[in-house]
Amino acid sequence: MPTFIVFDLEFTTWPGALEQDWGAPGQLREIVQIGALRLREDCSVVEEYEALVRPVTNPQLSPYFTELTGIDQEAVDREGVPAAEALGDFLGFCRGQSVLSYGNDMVVLGENVGWARARGEEVKNGYLGAHFLNIRPWLNTLAPETATANVGRLWQVLGLPKPAAGREHSALFDCYSFAAAIKHLRGTGAALPEGCMRRR
């Protein structure tokens, strides 16, 4: 059965970090939450993936990040797993699949894998087992009204029912919003970009 994955990341941030491209000293895009859905061709959900991750360089979350995402320090301290473990598990979840993002989250994923390996930590699975694609350009071209929308608002901009419980800037909710947008566009007759469907 052909399936594909959509994923989203939440990573450390501070006021003005986006505008400065995380260029201030000590500000890294360390992953704090990973969300993903394995989807069938009709966009129905086969499996969910979600993990909280403990950042290393900036283990203390900024109030700005917590307000944006709803993820607080207590949850990360209690439920967060080491970065190398979370990254390896997620890359294992993606093995043999096309993995779609709304933006260049695969770049942030790569940064975090690189930092973990530079610390001497083992990341059990690598990139080569999965096929990562940013399909934001495809989606924005087919639905120009989405061009300025973040992934968690796609459902709203497209006038779709709320796809799941939760809120934007929660990685798994953002995946449901992303999946709803893809399903909507496919329902209008749009084909996914080439290479998006692979058999497991």
Q: Indicate the domain borders of the chain.
A: 2-188
As a CATH number, domain 2-188 is: 3.30.420.10
The CA distance from 113 to 135, in Å, is 22
Contact 100, 5 (CB under 8 A): yes
Query: Which amino acid would we find at residue 88?
Result: G
Tokens of 19: 């505008």
Lowest mean pLDDT among 14-23, 49-58, 163-172: 14-23
Residue 125 vs residue 61, higher pLDDT: 61
Report pLDDT digits (tens) over 27-47. Answer: 999 999 999 999 998 999 999
Q: Which two tokens stand for residue 81?
A: 């797993």
For residue 16, is it left (φ>0), alpha (ψ between -120 and 50) or beta?
Answer: left
Q: Hey, what are 193's tokens?
A: 């970009």
